[in-house]
Structure 1
Amino acid sequence: MIKFLLKGILRDRSRSLLPIIITALGVGLTVLLSGYLKGAFGDIVDQNARFDTGHVKVMTQAYAENKDQIPNDLALLDASEWLDTLHTEIPEMQWIERIKFGGLIDVPDKNGNTRAQGPTTGMALDLFSGKSGENKRMNIEASLVTGTIPKHSGEAIIGHDFAEKLNLKLGDEITFFGSTMNGSMTFKTFNISGTIRFGTSAMDKGALIVDITDAQLMLDMNDATGEILGYLKSGVYDQTEVNTIATIFNSKHKLSTDEFSPEMLTLREQNNLASLLDYADVMSALFIFVFVLAMSIVLWNTGLLGGLRRYQEFGIRLALGEAKVQIYWSMVLEAVLIGVIGSILGTIIGPGITYYMQVVGIDISSYLENSSMIMPSVLRAKVMPNLFYIGFIPGVLAMVFGTMLAGIGIYKRETANLFKELEV
């Protein structure tokens, strides 16, 4: 039966070509949008994880409540002991320290007088030990516009646009003015070893990157850290796994009576990412639903037109004694075959365009100039394994649903009218 119907589909293109084209286009568009949503939202999550949230983050409860203000006076003390504890209790994750700080950059002239000034948002990373993986994780070396990564104490990387604004070049001295963990005034001189551009407006504006040992000395944070970030060694964020890790850690170490006790937050609990992740899932499901509905309506009309053209065929088959239900289900089976063919073609087209969008992407940097959100300046699609089967859901369902609606007309055929039609 399937072989017979398949021959009919291939030989009578007038009844199959249009539905196949519509299905292929709908499936291709569904695959493309699904890949683009997954890629764009995935990049946003990945950027936040690498630059800010980690897969999990450990802070004091007081720091967590005010973390947007970078309250280093509420930092986590005995950082080395907590790192040892985390490595022992949760060995499946890599743990690293980071300190964020803000202040003012002063650029002196040749006489030592102020030539330029600008506000800065600094980040202290473990750059010297070579064990933290921060260079690779934050793509520092590849993001350098000029110069090199700091190799000695007193060296710093500054944002390339920030350096141009202050008219700085490699080797120049800058002085950081800020406040220590204890609230007193601090200043420290750094030599510019390189300039960097991450492609993220929130990171590039006023960026200053130093080694964590320099920051601890500058901010009076001996064996203290603002944040301890944890990353799954697989490199892939797993909500279920990190939820389990955070629940166990908090039940053991978080004390409701001590605001300086540590608290572990997952990526989802930071930077309003929970709503973003939920939005991505809802939009992906919504697109599939909309395309199933839209293609069903189009294919329903196509089926109605095809059914009108095939009324004589149905009449002959009924006159020969074939039951209406047999004709109906043969049309549905035929629709399944057409849906599969169209879905295969759409699944070939969709990932191809998705791959192109993965390589090229859409540049949104002009919309992020004044944004404080951490997100990539180029949104890219992502080719994922599910793209090679997700299109069959709307493709086959829409074709079958449309045909089932159009096929209802078969049951309205009256045998008395068949002979009149056959006489024509």
Structure 2
Amino acid sequence: MDLFLLAWKNLWRSRRRTLITLAALSFSLMLVQGFHNLSFGVYSEMIDSGVRAGTGHLVVYQQDYVAGRDEKFSFDPQKLVSQISDLDGVEAVLPRLYLPGLAQSSRESRGILLTGVDPSAEHMINPFLKNLTAEQLPTLSGREAVLGSRLLKELQLKPGNKFVVTLQRRDGELVSEMFRVHSVVTTGIKNVDKSLLLVGRERAAAMAGMPGEVHELAVVLQDQRADRQVFPLLQALLHDRPQLRALSWDEAMPNLSNAIKLDYASQKFIFVIMLLIVTIGVINTLLMSVMERFREFGVMLAVGASTLRLRVLVFVEAFLLGVVAMLLGSIFGSLLTWYLSAVGIDLRDFIDSSLEFGGVVFDPIMRASWDLPYMLQIAGFMLLLSLAAAVYPAIKAGRILPAEALRHH
């Protein structure tokens, strides 16, 4: 206890230097925690938005459909939809078909991806359809269609107009059917708005000659962090159907996954550089403290103190410095996270409101989410950095010779 008390008093001999070092450590920890939580919140929102319009948090495909998106890899879900829906943590199961084809109006033609969905199941889940009323949704087996706004413009159509969709049936024959523009959506993703064409799943399946079959079962979870618990249960349901595969969203949506990983890796690199710069500041503080007490350490050695005690004293000073910085930084980091969570950062004055990132529309109002394990981890890392920064000053203190130190002025 005496050693801790002595180390605490030594830190405050140069109050200004200690305060500057504590401020640098605390401020750096606050920034790392706060902006990591901001990234964590933005990524979570992007993942949730992306998987609801895309493959779901978990997804079921036949064989290697995800590799080439070959429409021949379809399957009859049978009772899987109800069985998966009964699993704990599952919010919805969305059966979908994806059929490449050609949309033709009286003036223009465009390549499209005809998507067959269950409109009532998708309505409050799929962000593309959330803004539509129940009356604006297509029926399961009708000829109503939802078009992307760019596709509507390029085909020179208006709501209520009719157009023709042509695609290849399962048996290889070309088939054409007439649909009517029932409603229009703007997703903010250019490629999607240029090719989106949603119809009822039963109509799409009948047109392609695969009644009752789907290409994808998108499993949307109540909490995206529950995927590790739900995934083994999903695999168990598929045990008797080896031709079906269960995948996580990052395997099924590699563009979004890789974009997030790349952005997060660049942030971690910046965080590491910031912490290393702070570490240099701690080394400077402790080394200056040792040099200023050169004569004092010599006296301590002359009266019987061991070099080990001097080195431990320097490490205790670094430990106390790290603990105080860790506590202050975590408090300020929590306050910053609270502000970024409640208010966020509004970028609408600087960027397009429909900015796309990794195939998902980027919300220009960024908000943080709490990642408490990471906050504790980075706070502990800060303490370890402080102790690591004390290695050289401690070695320097242990090499002091009493006779030489007593002559030092």
TM interval, short-chain normalised: 0.7 to 0.9
Is the 2:30–2:333 Cα contact (8 Å) retained in structure 1? yes
Matching residue within 349, 352, 359 for 1:374: 359
Task: Report the counterpart of residue 83 of structure 1 in structure 2.
Answer: 81
Task: Report the counterpart of residue 328 of structure 1 in structure 2.
Answer: 311
How far apart, in 2, do the equivalents of 1:38 and 1:82 lie?
33
Q: Deviations over 1:157-208 (max 9, x none)?
A: 2222333444444333333222333333333333333322333444333212
Matching residue within 316, 330, 337 for 1:347: 330
Matches within 5 A, 1:402-421: 402-421=389-408
Matching residue within 171, 177, 188 for 1:188: 177
For 1:137, give the aligned amino acid. Answer: I
Matching residue within 228, 238, 258 for 2:217: 228
How far apart, in 2, do the equivalents of 1:274 and 1:203 lie?
15
Task: Report the counterpart of residue 216 of structure 1 in structure 2.
Answer: 205
Matching residue within 374, 396, 401 for 2:383: 396
- 2:115 matched to 1:123? yes
Task: Report the counterpart of residue 249 of structure 2 in structure 1.
Answer: 267
Deviation at 1:103, TM superposition (A): 1.8
Matches within 5 A, 1:272-287: 272=254, 276=258
How far apart, in 2, do the equivalents of 1:119 and 1:213 lie?
21
SS in 1 for 2:160: coil
- 2:208 matched to 1:206? no
How far apart, in 2, do the equivalents of 1:330 and 1:12 lie?
16
Task: Report the counterpart of residue 162 of structure 1 in structure 2.
Answer: 151
Q: Deviations over 1:103-141 (max 9, x none)?
A: 22223xxxxxx223322223222113xxx3x22322235
Q: Deviations over 1:327-386 (max 9, x none)?
A: 4323322222222232334334445556676633778879987x9x53343485642223
Change (3 A) 1:364 1:190: farther
**188-197 or 223-232, which deviates more:** 188-197
For 1:230, give the aligned amino acid. Answer: V
**TM-score, L = length of structure 2:** 0.79
Is the 1:147–1:170 Cα contact (8 Å) retained in structure 2? no
Deviation at 1:38, TM superposition (A): 3.5
Change (3 A) 1:193 1:237: farther
Deviation at 1:287, TM superposition (A): 6.5
Matching residue within 165, 168, 171 for 1:176: 165
How far apart, in 1, do the equivalents of 2:333 and 2:88 lie?
41
How far apart, in 2, do the equivalents of 1:210 and 1:96 lie?
14
Q: Deviations over 1:232-279 (max 9, x none)?
A: 4x332445334423543444221xxxxxx4333333432437984877
How far apart, in 1, do the equivalents of 2:54 and 2:216 lie?
10
How far apart, in 2, do the equivalents of 1:383 and 1:84 lie?
32
- 2:96 matched to 1:104? no
Is the 1:291–1:394 Cα contact (8 Å) retained in structure 2? no
Deviation at 1:209, TM superposition (A): 2.0
Is the 1:354–1:383 Cα contact (8 Å) retained in structure 2? yes
Change (3 A) 1:141 1:404: same
Change (3 A) 1:149 1:181: farther
How far apart, in 1, do the equivalents of 2:20 and 2:116 lie?
60
Is the 1:268–1:274 Cα contact (8 Å) retained in structure 2? yes
How far apart, in 1, do the equivalents of 2:49 and 2:119 lie?
19
How far apart, in 2, do the equivalents of 1:271 and 1:22 lie?
40
SS in 2 for 1:100: strand
How far apart, in 2, do the equivalents of 1:167 and 1:383 lie?
43
Is the 1:28–1:391 Cα contact (8 Å) retained in structure 2? no
SS in 2 for 1:253: coil
**327-336 or 379-388, which deviates more:** 379-388
Is the 2:297–2:405 Cα contact (8 Å) retained in structure 1? no
Is the 2:96–2:201 Cα contact (8 Å) retained in structure 1? yes
How far apart, in 2, do the equivalents of 1:367 and 1:199 lie?
5
Is the 2:59–2:252 Cα contact (8 Å) retained in structure 1? no
Deviation at 1:28, TM superposition (A): 3.0
Is the 2:326–2:379 Cα contact (8 Å) retained in structure 1? yes
How far apart, in 1, do the equivalents of 2:136 and 2:14 lie?
67
Is the 1:19–1:299 Cα contact (8 Å) retained in structure 2? yes
Task: Report the counterpart of residue 32 of structure 2 in structure 1.
Answer: 30
Change (3 A) 1:10 1:104: farther
**TM-score, L = length of structure 1:** 0.76
Structure 1, unpaired ranges of 5+:
108-113, 255-260
